[in-house]
Amino acid sequence: MLKKSTILIAIACLFFAFKSNETTMPHLSISNNHRYFMAGDKPFFWLGDTGWLLFSKLKREEAEQYLDIRSKQGFNVIQVMVVHSIKETNAYGDSALSNKNIAQPKTTPGNTFGEGNEYDYWDHIDWIITKAAEKGLYVALVPVWGSVVKESHIGAEKAKAYAEFLAKRYRDRPNVIWMNGGDIAGSDSLKTWNAIGNTLHDVDGTHLITYHPRGRTQSSKWFHNESWLDFNCFQSGHRTYAQDTSKKDLKYGEDNWRYVQTDYNLSPIKPTLDAEPSYEKIPHGLHNIKLPRWTAADVRRYGYWSVFAGACGYTYGDNDVMQMHKPTDKGSAYGSKGYWYNSVNDPGAKQMVYLKKLMLSRPYLDRVPDQSLIAGNNGEKYNRLIATRGKNYAFVYTYTGVQININADKLEGSKLKASWYNPRNGQTTAIGTFAKAKTIKFKPPGKVSNGNDWVLIIDAI
């Protein structure tokens, strides 16, 4: 028979072993200059993925597979819908709501796995959020998709009750971000969106909150001065230059850097990012599946353009993954032909980490956009050059490989060390060291063509 002291020691060892395996993630906060994010005391570059239907379409083993892949690929934020439909059920067939009432989430007492509760809609979400934390992933939760609100299934009073339920359930989870809205103009049910935002802010108070707007719009249009909005998001959308014919919205075409430029100059200062650019493998303009599809080169372009213009991060998307397309689906949206578990490894997804690595390779918090680094014309559309710099370094991105002329006087140091950074594979190639001159010209490798993209890196000596 074991002695009492031996048993106590064994229990203590088990306790400390359990504690050591717990995942502690710092809450995200806004940097002191109000431009970027911090995770604890370290700069945090948002690299998101639109896993919109993760909670409703995937079972637990599938969800863990997805989270594991994205974590290993360098992503750190997953954007996901909590309730996409008023009739929402999960992969186990359990409903999110009682009587299709957003103010009455359908919960099961207790959450012990193996007692039937793994099928409960909300316990399933809890489990996935926990798994995400174990893999170093934050989850940006969209409480209710915009179409549900627009179809009058929810008003301000119900919205407040629902948001209070969410805030109380998840305010102690460190890896949660609130993404109010959901592909809709803020002017559609403005009172409802403010009710959700204010309630999350008042009842939770620990997590960052933003708003996901409709395509070709930005959250700052309606909510920039609201106390609940900590940072801005915009959806640059899926249309080409030629398809951007809206009479109501800004006609920026594919120039998603323009949204950043607009938000960057607003007061009070708040971070901003492209939360939904064109998805890899989705048709131009979404709805005509016979049209060409956006490629890895396009999602790279949107990423470097927006971040170099001053964004605090970037969200990638894939047509098959965002809807978690599976062989058991009766159909698919937007001409999706692949399955999520294959498309999760599409080229663009693997290349996104190179953007994050580059941005964090130099002092991050003093980085600013600076087009004055470029001598002469900055270029238009695909030939646009985008420049950003810190105190002792500068990055300039070209999507087509056009010549880059640099105003060297704008940089520190008596000499400049130049390199090429390849966004397709993350490799750096030295160019050489140069004495400062009024203008220095750099010709990227390869022929000028769409997708021959490069970043010119200049370090001051």
CB 184 within 8 A of CB 147: yes
Domain annotation for the chain: domains and CATH numbers: 24-359 (3.20.20.80), 370-460 (2.60.40)
pLDDT for the residue numbered 10: 42
Please tell me the predicted confidence (pLDDT) of residue 114: 57
- Give residue-wise pLDDT tens across range 1-44: 444 444 444 434 443 333 333 458 999 999 999 999 999 999 99
The position carrying tokens 């993630």 is: 25
Q: 251-262 pLDDT, tens per residue?
A: 899 999 999 999
What number of CA atoms fall less than 13 Å from residue 90's CA on the CB side? Answer: 26
What is the average pLDDT across 233-257? 91
Read off the pLDDT of each residue in 398-417 and give the average, rounded to a whole number: 92
Q: Give pLDDT, residue 119.
A: 86
Task: Report the alpha-carbon distance of residue 312 to residue 263 in Å, rounded.
Answer: 11
* pLDDT > 90 in the chain, percent: 87
Q: Judge whether residue 175 has pLDDT over 50.
A: yes
pLDDT tens digits for range 319-346: 999 999 999 999 999 999 999 999 999 9
Instruction: Output the CA torsion sign for 141, 145, 150, 153.
Output: negative
**What pLDDT score does 281 carry?**
98
* Predicted confidence (pLDDT) per residue in 343-363, tens digit: 999 999 999 999 999 999 999
So what's the pLDDT on residue 115? 63
Q: Of 174, 171, 235, which is closest to residue 200 (Cα–Cα)?
A: 171
For position 385, what pLDDT does the model report?
98
Using 50, 70 and 90 to split pLDDT, how confident is the model at 140? very high
Measure the CA–CA gap between 375 and 460, rounded to whole angstroms: 18
Task: Quote the pTM value.
Answer: 0.94
Q: What is the pLDDT of residue 251?
A: 81
Q: How many helices (H) and strands (E) does the chain have?
A: 13, 22
Structure-model confidence comparison of residues 109 and 315, the more confident one: 315
CA distance 254 to 298: 10
Q: Would the pLDDT of 420 be above 80? A: yes
d(CA 148, CA 398): 41
Q: What's residue 249's pLDDT? A: 73
pLDDT digits (tens, 9 = 90+) for 393-406: 999 999 999 999 99
For residue 61, what is the DSSP state? H
Asked whether the predicted pLDDT for residue 446 surpasses 60, the reply is yes
Q: Which residues pair with 233 in a beta bridge?
A: 273
Among residues 57, 194, 74, the alpha carbon closest in space to that of 121 is found at 57
> What single-letter DSSP state applies at residue 452?
-
Q: Looking up tokens 């130099």, which residue turns up?
A: 362
- pLDDT value at residue 17: 38
pLDDT grade for 152, boundaries at 50, 70 and 90? confident
At a CB cut-off of 8 Å and minimum separation 6, what does 158 contact? 101, 102, 103
Residue-averaged pLDDT of the chain: 93
- What pLDDT, on the 0 to 100 scale, is given for residue 22? 43
- Return the bridge partners of 310, or none: none
| pLDDT tens-digit readout, 375-393 | 999 999 999 999 999 999 9
Type of residue at 282 = I
Q: 230 with 270: CB under 8 angstroms?
A: yes
Q: What is the pLDDT of residue 18?
A: 36
